[in-house]
Every structure is written in C-alpha cells, then in structure tokens.
Chain A
C-alpha cells in the first residue's frame, strides 16, 4: 500500500519550546525570518511587549511575519496595542492600510478612546477609515459619533461613509442629523439618495 504511516512527529523546524521571554524578544530582531516568525507567534501575552512588537512591525519586510506581529498585538489587545497600529492607517501602501484596519476592527474597545481624534483627522482617507472602525461599536455610541460627523464634516465622501454606516446600525437618534445633512448636500450627486435610503432603513427597523 502506498499510504505510509509516519508515527514520529516531525522534529525539524517549528516553534522552539525552550526560549525564555528575553530570548524571544531577542529573536524578534534576528536576521533570520524564520526566527522572527517563530518568536512572534509565541509572544502576545504581555502588554509590556507592545513597544518591542511595534518596533519590529515598523521594519519587518516579510508580509507573513508582519501579519503575525499584528496578531500578537491583537491578542494583547489593549490601548497601547491599538495605538501601535494606528499609524498604519496613513501608510501609502494599501496592503498595510488594509491590514491595520482589519486588526483595529478586532479591537473596538481598545480603539474607542482614539475615535474622536481620528474622525477629525486632516486626512480625508483617515476619516473614512475611522468610520469603518465605528461600525464595530455598539449602535448607540456609533450613532452619536456618526451624527457628529454628519454635523461637522465638509467632504461629501466622508459623509457618504457615515451615512452608509448609519444605514447599517443607526438608531432613530440619527434621523434629524440625516435630514439636515440631506439639505446641506442637496445639490451633490448620490448623498441625497443615500440619506433617503438610510432614513427608510432606520425607520423600518424601528417600526416606523
């Protein structure tokens, strides 16, 4: 029979069981990608490691090791982790932006303290990404933040993102802000349509 049972576990390569914490942190800056890969996958339990992980993330050339560093940060999952990921929202590289957004989406409460500042960022794209993050918050909190955006925001595309998020999870508190926004952008394409759909969905969901 060509099917062969190999009973001995494969010993080569893989996670080393023996490294102590200091050894793992050292391996984070090893010139060998495999060493960094294996070290990172065992780290991720101690908030004190966030600075080392953040520093490693900044210079890591290998995509799979970067993913693993972000996973370690997600596992720690406190505000310092979220803070370490925030700068990548501004990355010129689309893959890194996407990776950062996905990572932050797993950390809604850790990201919450930073939301107001992100929603007021100078960069339109950062404000749009911030709205993606708002979707992960409880509807009442999200609604409040998004109404704020609708009231303050000048850029129609950012408003469009906020309207889209409200259409998904907005509470009836959002209706006045939506109506005001529709008037403000009455002459722009798309927004009046989008707002009418959002209003209809929120009303339907609340027996309106």
Chain B
C-alpha cells in the first residue's frame, strides 16, 4: 500500500508481518488482538511506518524492537482510543450486570456494601457511567448499598470529575432518555451530571504502583482498570497487578481494556470468559499449591 510522501515505494506488509508484530506486542505489553482486529492493526501499522519514515516492515520492526524514540509507546497509543466518553466499552458494563454482580451478590447480605472501583477514572466518565448503568440495568440495585470510587494520579482530572461537567461529545453514546434523566444542560454544548449522582461517587488520588496509597483502597468487588497497564514497564506492571490483587476481595473481578490480557502480566488472577467480556478474578480462597 503506497503512502503519499514515500514516492512509488509500496510498503508491502504481509499477514506474516502482522503476526510477528502481534507476537512482539503481546510479549512486551500483554496486548492481544483477535482476528477481527487485524485490519485495525494494518491501518495503525501503516500509520506508524509512515510516521517513523520506515520504508519496509523489516526496518520498522527493527526500530520497534529497539524502542527507538519510544516507538512502542507511539504504537500502543495508536491502538488505544484515548478519548473518554460515557458508556465506553459497554460490553463490560453489560458483563457486570449480567454475570459479575450475580457472583458478587451470591453470599452478600443487604447491609454489606458492593464496592466498585474505576482506576484510572480520568475526568469521571467511567465511574459515572457505572453508576448510571447500575441504576438502569441492575434490577436489585435498590436492595444493596453500592459504593463507587473513582481514582486517578492526575489531580486536575479528579477535580474535573468532581465537578461533573461534560461537553456534548462525551455523551454521544448515551440514549436521549438517559441524558435527560441524569444531566442538566448548562450551556448549549455542556451538561452537568445530576448532583445526587455526582455526590455519591468518591474520588481519590492514587498511584497504582504505590502499595501504601493503594492499600487505602480495599475490599472491592469489581475493578475497572483499562488501558493503563500496557504503558508500564515490566516491574511496574507487576507491582500494579499485585496492588490491584490486594485491593480486591477474594472472588473479586478486574476488567482490563479491550485487547489487554492479564496473563502476560501476572499469574495471580484466573481468566473468566463470559459472553460479553473476558475478565480476571482473584481466586476465592487463597490455596497454596504445594
């Protein structure tokens, strides 16, 4: 496929090349792409080849392996949509109400809270989405106390989250009734989240690799930790995974970003395959294997 600026030189990328790229990405970041994502990889790969001035896959791959100019980060960025909005990755929210909560409430008394964590929560779209989704889709929502916590290392993002004001673009995936129910218009283009909902989310600052900070967050039933572990180096990823393990109740679940896998990162969790999502679970009882 010839790119403008490369003259007549076609950067011919074969399916085998894409495979080798995927293998490398998996080893370095734990990102795993299924077949239906392959066209998506082709496009991103060609973008990065053009951006790095690589005339062939071979030369790009060598550049990538050496992580020249932080190319791995550029490539990973190309794969993750960095824009945040309400009801992003809805299939995981669906999994939460269809499957995960069923497991969580199995032995849960009504006076014992259900705790859900969004980390990193950025400007709050994710924790608020979780709240809205639960109220709309969890039939037992009134029978339990649900605590939702949103955390991030970026205090400006947290301040913004606590304010709860969003542009129309962030609401684009929400059906109109939900916008009407949970937001009020501020200007033509901005909306404020319902104050009751806003005040029910607890926002905290946290650094995923700081065990002491993380230890103040405990007993979670479900954690959403999307598209951040892929950016960490090996040691930091392990530390973050161990911290997250510690923050979960036994039997608690963690949801990663699409294409992320935990098994490359950590063997602490077991894989759970549900119709709507693949999630990871802290084992119910710590059993020694000896």
**B88 interface contact, C-beta 8 A:** no
Q: How far is the CB of A97 from chain B (nearest CB, A)?
A: 12
> In the complex, are the beta carbons of A204 and B58 less than 8 A apart?
yes
Q: Which residues of A contact B215 (CB under 8 A)?
A: 13-15, 38
> In the complex, are the beta carbons of A1 and B242 less than 8 A apart?
no
Determine the distance from Cα of A1 to Cα of B141 in the docked complex, in whole angstroms. 9
Residues of A within 8 A of B (CB): 1-7, 9-10, 12-15, 17, 33, 37-38, 41-42, 61-64, 67-68, 70-71, 74-75, 77, 95, 98-99, 105-106, 139, 168-169, 201, 204-205
The 6 A-B residue pairs whose C-beta atoms are closest, nearest first, are: A14-B215, A61-B288, A106-B234, A3-B200, A205-B58, A15-B215
Determine the distance from Cα of A42 to Cα of B275 in the docked complex, in whole angstroms. 38
The total of Cβ contacts below 8 Å across the A-B interface reads: 114
> In the complex, are the beta carbons of A95 and B218 less than 8 A apart?
no
Q: What would be 15 A-B contacts, judged by CB atoms less than 8 Å apart?
A: A2-B141, A2-B144, A3-B134, A4-B147, A6-B149, A7-B202, A9-B204, A10-B219, A33-B286, A37-B246, A62-B286, A64-B286, A74-B235, A77-B235, A205-B58
Determine the distance from Cα of A74 to Cα of B216 in the docked complex, in whole angstroms. 25
Supposing A2-B146, A61-B289, A74-B238 touch, asked if A12 and B202 sit within 8 A by C-beta, the answer is no
Q: Which residues of B contact A75 (CB under 8 A)?
A: 235, 239
Determine the distance from Cα of A33 to Cα of B131 in the docked complex, in whole angstroms. 35
Supposing A12-B218, A67-B266 touch, asked if A1 and B197 sit within 8 A by C-beta, the answer is yes
Give B146-162 as 1s and 0s: 1 = Cβ < 8 Å from A's Cβ atoms.
Answer: 11110000000000000
Q: How far is the CB of A152 from chain B (nearest CB, A)?
A: 26
> In the complex, are the beta carbons of A68 and B242 less than 8 A apart?
yes
Determine the distance from Cα of A7 to Cα of B92 in the docked complex, in whole angstroms. 26
Nearest B-chain residue to A1, judged by Cβ: B196
* Consensus secondary structure, chain A interface: helix
Q: Which residues of B contact A105 (CB under 8 A)?
A: 234
Determine the distance from Cα of A74 to Cα of B65 in the docked complex, in whole angstroms. 22
> In the complex, are the beta carbons of A5 and B147 less than 8 A apart?
yes
Q: Which residues of A contact B142 (CB under 8 A)?
A: 2
Q: Which residues of B contact A98 (CB under 8 A)?
A: 267
> In the complex, are the beta carbons of B242 and A41 less than 8 A apart?
yes
> In the complex, are the beta carbons of B202 and A63 less than 8 A apart?
no
Q: How far is the CB of B126 from chain A (nearest CB, A)?
A: 14
